[in-house]
Amino acid sequence: MTSAEPAPAKLNLALHVTGRRGDGYHLLDSLVVFAGVGDQVRLAPGPLSLRIEGPFAGGLAADDDNLCLRAARLAGGQAAITLTKNLPVASGIGGGSADAAAVLRAFARRGHPLPADPQLLGADVPVCLASVPARMSGIGERVAPLPAMPALPLVLINPGVAIPTPQVFAALASRDNPPLPPLPAFADAEALVGWLARTRNDLQPPAMALAPIIGQVLAALSGQGARLARMSGSGATCFGIFADARAAETAAAALSRQGWWAVATDLAPAPAPL
């Protein structure tokens, strides 16, 4: 039997870097949500293998290092895996982590227990396993699910520049920043935008220094009427929050004419329970 598992894009709506561990990994405090756009993995019976299709298939190899195969080995499972790569690679929206988490969930549905330490596959894998709105802390291993979020009309923009995550962390000017302000339950998108305005993505300034085009993307989102425009993760993908789905679709259509990957979406539904 073939089964499909969605791998939704991860968005760090806010990301504060609050310290650094002895091993060099950074302590984070992040509001993470998942978008209605993402990759998909399908598992069919057979020995372990990986085939990659979809618009960004050319961006990565189906070799042993691919996070889908690493996840399958960690789960101890066998399957012919097909990855549909809809998300740009190395773009701050956790594509590889989302794929790894989707493979772990798919094997869990087939009776393979989730591994004790999914973070072996990447800092973002624990939050991607949950794929629900959450406050993420530690280096990503602490995931506290949040009450349901309001509808959030979003535009995601990626200008086609891949930025390696370690370079962005290395370029941080300050590593001991204040944590997120207390997180209320958000009645509507306006309340969320108001709260987000008091937060930051601490990785945005160093990423912009490495890839100045991020500043152009943020300005373009604001120019299209975004109520808040910010970079996700270590970049270069940025998101804009719009007043409604129609405004988001109009903005995405206009921005895709710049040659950028531009998608109008909303938050993803939670994955089927395991």
Ligand X SMILES: Nc1ncnc2c1ncn2[C@@H]1O[C@H](COP(=O)(O)OP(=O)(O)OP(=O)(O)O)[C@@H](O)[C@H]1O
Ligand Y SMILES: C[C@](O)(CO)[C@H](O)COP(=O)(O)OP(=O)(O)OC[C@H]1O[C@@H](n2ccc(N)nc2=O)[C@H](O)[C@@H]1O
Q: Examine residue 234 and tell whether it contacts ligand Y (CB under 6 A).
A: yes
Q: Examine residue 140 and tell whether it contacts ligand Y (CB under 6 A).
A: yes
Burial class (CB in 10 A: 0-12, 13-18, 19+), 182: exposed
Q: Examine residue 124 and tell whether it contacts ligand Y (CB under 6 A).
A: yes
Please select the residue that binds ligand Y; options are 50, 139, 149, 229, rule is CB under 6 A.
139
Look-up of token digits 């490495």: 210
- C-alpha 229: how far from its chain's center? 16
Please select the residue that binds ligand X; options are 124, 157, 161, 263, rule is CB under 6 A.
124
- Concerning whether 10 is annotated as a catalytic residue, the answer is yes
Instruction: Identify residues 78-117 at the interface with ligand X (CB under 6 A).
Output: 89-97, 99
Query: From CA 109, how far away is CA 75, in angstroms rounded?
Result: 11
Is 93 annotated as a binding-site member?
Answer: yes
Query: From CA 143, how far away is CA 129, in angstroms rounded?
Result: 10
How many residues belong to the chain? 274
- Comparing CA positions, the residue from 141, 47, 149, 35 lying closest to residue 86 is 35
Element (H, E) at 5: strand 3-20
Applying CB under 6 A, what is the total number of residues that bind ligand Y? Answer: 18
| Opening angle at CA 107, ends 60 and 233, nearest 5 | 45
**Region from 23-31, 34-42, 151-159, 204-212 binding ligand Y, contact rule CB under 6 A:** 23-31
Draw the binding track, 194-213, toward ligand Y (x: CB under 6 A; -: no contact).
--------------------
Q: Which of 99, 124, 188, 202 is catalytic?
A: 124
- Concerning whether 23 is annotated as a catalytic residue, the answer is no
Q: What burial letters (b/e) apply to 57-86, b meaning 16+ CB within 10 Å?
A: bebbebeeebbbbbbbebbebbbebbbbbb
Q: Examine residue 38 and tell whether it contacts ligand X (CB under 6 A).
A: no
Q: Examine residue 34 and tell whether it contacts ligand Y (CB under 6 A).
A: no
Q: Examine residue 233 and tell whether it contacts ligand X (CB under 6 A).
A: yes
**Region from 21-29, 64-72, 186-194, 251-259 binding ligand X, contact rule CB under 6 A:** 64-72
Question: Among ligand X, ligand Y, none, what binds residue 67 when CB lies within 5 to 8 Å by partner kind?
Answer: ligand X
> Which two structure tokens, joined as six digits, stand for 39?
């990759």
Residues 6+ apart with CB under 8 A from 219: none
Binding positions for ligand X, rule: CB under 6 A: 60, 66-68, 89-97, 99, 124, 165, 233-234
Binding positions for ligand Y, rule: CB under 6 A: 12, 15, 25-26, 28, 30, 94, 97, 122-124, 139-140, 165-166, 169, 233-234
Residues designated as active site: 10, 124
- Residue ranges for the known binding site for ATP are 88-98
